[in-house]
Amino acid sequence: APVSWDTDEIIARRDRYYAASQRAFVPYAKPLILKKGSMQYVWDEEGNRLTDLLGMNLCISVGHAHPAVVAAVQAQVAELTHCTTMFYHPVPAHFAEELAATMPAGEDWVVHFTNSGAEAIDLALMMARVRTGNLDVIALENSYHGATYGAQSVTGLQNFRHNAGQLSNICFTSDPNQYRGVHGPGVEPYLVDLERTLATATTGSVAGMIIEPVQGYGGIVEMPQGFISGAAERIRAAGGLMIIDEVQSGFGKTGRALWGFEHHDVVPDIVVMAKGIGNGIPLGAVVAKRDVAEAMAGKFLFHTYGANPAASAAGRAVLRVIQEDRMVENASKVGAVLHQGLKDLAARYPIIGNVRGTGFMQAIELVRDHDTKGPAMEETAFVFERTREHGIIVSKSGNYRNVLRMVPPLCLAMEDMDHVLGALDRSFADLAEHLG
Ligand code: PMP
């Protein structure tokens, strides 16, 4: 039967057949039903256009239905959609070569394709343990790394941790959140915490540490300069590897470089990527130094759709489009205007306690009081609802859901700024009016 576009039916069918944890999170009071997307815009089933500042959770990296990606995928699906890694095909191999070439020079990089980000995180943890012969892994508070057992076990946000048991030998250290961190701004105190974590919660011999260069679900928390490199030094001294999670910060999102770690004076041992890698086609990858990945040789490790030709064709098109359309530069330029616009809003609406971000990873944090930083959760929910009415999609994130996170596709243009900033302005004005 053809699908029904009847609103009530769509809602009823989803609510009836999705499992509880899959249907649990519905951001808007009135469900948003999406029908179509083109570049930075999506249309709902009533034909309303919304500017997608979420990139459908960062998966849409270069734009909805980007013609180059569509053409690449269509051609590959029609010729050979899938073959597993035991057979040879040039498209995934080319893509692996191209991804390896984006990594720091002077190292020998190899790629292991997976089906998703969390799977890639699990693999990265496993690789680090096998390579080092150690078990202990250190993660950051306020981090998000995925939904599988392994990825959930290194996730430092309670909302995502189910009461189902976790991997052992994982410990957390304080998050160098420059706005809300336990030590306030600065780097050194957080590195001292890491030293204490190493000295107390580990055996002294660790497998590694995992870090997002910009924490995504944690509410766009950028690692301060000197933290990742300082952590890498300490972790390596304890025999461990540095694992960088680029699932959100990768593919040019920071507006600085293709990878978030690139301006942190560190060469990772393992880099995890997903989401934007395929512009919405499911795909993940672990890019690792050869000696790290080679430690797992001798046993099979199959991810059935990993190195899928159709997904790899999407990935190759994404890399090409980012480069040809100078999209990192675009994220930098337009992101700077967005950032300034958010700061101007903060000057007019005292509920905004903090504006932060780089490139197309931007956030505003809402607080009831600038000194105590008490999270303004209901107010954030109110503003969030209004943003949709005014034609933009953002997301609520952070441990208190008091952060409005904006991570648009790399094609968001200067011409969109009036609409985007106007919509935010009106949403905050609505809140001010609502609060009297
Ligand atoms: N790491 C980060 C930083 C993420 O944001 C996510 C997904 N939100 C993941 C890992 C897991 O990716 P996936 O949902 O594809 O498993």
pLDDT tens digits for range 205-234: 999 999 999 999 999 999 999 999 999 999
Residues 403 and 314 in one domain: no
Q: How confident is the model at residue 25 (pLDDT cuts 50, 70, 90)?
A: confident
Over range 374-384, report the average pLDDT: 98
How far is the centre of ligand 1, averaged over its atoms, from the C-alpha of 279 (Å)?
14
Q: pLDDT tier at 84 (50, 70, 90 boundaries)?
A: confident
CB-ligand 1 contact for 383 (6 Å cutoff): no
Q: Decide: 129 in ligand 1 pocket, CB within 6 A.
A: no
Q: How far is the CA of 388 from the centre of ligand 1 (A)?
A: 24
Does residue 243 belong to any structural domain of this protein? yes
Provide the domain limits for residue 273. 69-324
Residue 107 has pLDDT above 90, yes or no: yes
Residue 66 has pLDDT above 90, yes or no: yes
Domain with residue 401: its CATH number is 3.90.1150.10
| DSSP state letter for 2 | P
Question: Whats the size of the chain, residue-wise?
Answer: 436
Number of domains within the chain = 2
Same domain, 55 and 103: no
Which class for 186: exposed (0-12), middle (13-18), buried (19 or more C-beta within 10 A)? middle
Q: Is 246 in the pocket of ligand 1 (CB under 6 A)?
A: no
Does the predicted TM-score (pTM) go above 0.90? Answer: yes
C-alpha 240/C-alpha 28 separation (Å) is 43
55 vs 436: CA distance, rounded Å: 34
Q: What confidence score (pLDDT) does residue 302 get?
A: 87
**Quick check: is 113 in a domain?**
yes
Q: How many C-beta atoms surround the C-beta of residue 127 within 10 A?
A: 26
pLDDT in tens, 289-331: 999 999 999 898 889 999 999 999 999 999 999 999 999 999 9
Task: State in Å: Cα 135 to ligand 1 middle.
Answer: 22
- Candidate of 122, 223, 247 to mutate for ligand 1, largest count of ligand atoms within 8 Å of Cβ: 247
Residue 26 in any domain: the answer is yes
> For the domain that residue 81 is a member of, what is the CATH number?
3.40.640.10
The pLDDT value recorded for residue 350 is 97
